[in-house]
Chains A and B, each alone.
Chain A
Amino acid sequence: MNQASKSNNTLQSNPLFELGKERLELIGKHADALMQGYLQGHVDEAAFTVQALDKLINGRILWRPDEQQPLALRPNVNDLIASLTQDERKRQINSDVGEHLDQIHTRVQSLQAARQKGDYAATEHHMQLLTERVYDMTGQFGDAIESLWHRLNTEFGFVSSLDDKILEIELAQRQLRRILDGFSIINFDDLIQLAGSDGALRKLLVSQLQARISEHSGSLLEVQKRLVLLMARFRHQQDRALLINRMSAFLRQHPNFQVGDYPNRSQVPAVVNQAHGIKAQAFVALDRAQDGYALAELARAVPREPEQGSQSETQTEGFAVAVQSLVATEQKQLAKDVEDFFIRVIESPEPLSGVDYLAEQELTWDPEIWLFQVVAEYEGLPQQSKQSFMLEKERTPKSRFNQLYIIKDVKVGMRFFGDFQAVG
């Protein structure tokens, strides 16, 4: 515990500690404006005070790429945000292996020199930097591969058009190629020699690195395979869309274009050979005794119309039912006459009187029944149609002592007649 706090103290006394912390805080403090700058490609200077701008520029967070250009995020800050947010539009893939290997070589040489001198602290320091460098390298590949997977799994959804997606796949394929090329530069024989008999170095530079690289290679090969498949699919889609667009454009431009008479060629192309549909119909047949029962069942199951039922009643009850059916027929005739009346109303420019119409048409209905039917028909109309008609009852009180009225006549006309005429 004591030792840990002591090492904490020594770390905190490192001047880098304060500076780094201050700058990280600076980023956090201006997160809103910086993110806007990230998305827009440049920052809005008005969003900061002069002091804040100075700090951000001195802090190597913002810069001015060119005197004419507005302030923007430094590339490293852009990369940081892209990597944190998995923003594939801006994420960089760094596949430069050679640089890493050079640094590793130099680091190992410094380490061995320090060790020969017996400088324990310097040896420690170089070992730490070397370890970081190796992990940086594999981590970078890991990030690159992760980015490739991410793009693949989202099917390059960060660009919208198919053409752009195909370009993005081509780019990803080139990046992948470069990473694989980078792997081939790593010569493990060299590294084994470099590590010599030092167990820790051997572990770091040979066994661990080898395991990571072979894992990454496996992953990359899988990405490569999937990219090829996705590319084939996109190309197929693109091809189809082009075919459709061009064919329809062609047909529009050549309305009289005649397609060959493929069906009557000696060799009919398979694509037009398509048999016409035939319906296999079958009917009731009584020529097989064993079907009799099943057919009878079916016949019994046929739903009967209610009228057929009343027919059998006719036979048993005779007279009463005959009157009933007579009434039904009369009722139908009445309804029809009322309907004709309404049709006349529609044609007539003025409201018509029900009683007058009855007389005029020499219909034999009792006026009371007639009026009743007219009112019933009006009331029975659907709401919408009802609104088109206007029904006025002409009524007189039966007596002074109660509220009973007798309807003497009804006048039916079209509502808003003037409007209708205007429209017509």
Chain B
Amino acid sequence: MRNIVFGYGISRPRAIDMDNNDLRKSGDIIAEMPELQACIGCGSCTASCTAGRLTDFNFRKLHTAVRRGEYKGVYAELSKCMLCGKCRLVCPRGINTRGLVMLIKRKLGDF
């Protein structure tokens, strides 16, 4: 069938759908590292991030999305992290952020 271009398309809804998202994986991650819930969104991890200096890698947004059950593309995105650990040095809540990168990657291997 020929594609007819009407000049507009259908966009996927951007909203985080907490009713249909699979929250089991995020629940597993939080259960293994409850300190993740103590994040206050200060952005220190992103501000100090080596990968974030060169790319649009944003660890704060990524792990917040994971906690809401949004996993798509997270594994690939986390591969930008070089595990330098600067984020862990600055986190005011003492979250083992480097360990968290590894934990999320381990749990989301299939995403």
Asked if A pairs with B, the answer is no
Which residues in B have some Cβ–Cβ distance to A below 8 Å?
none
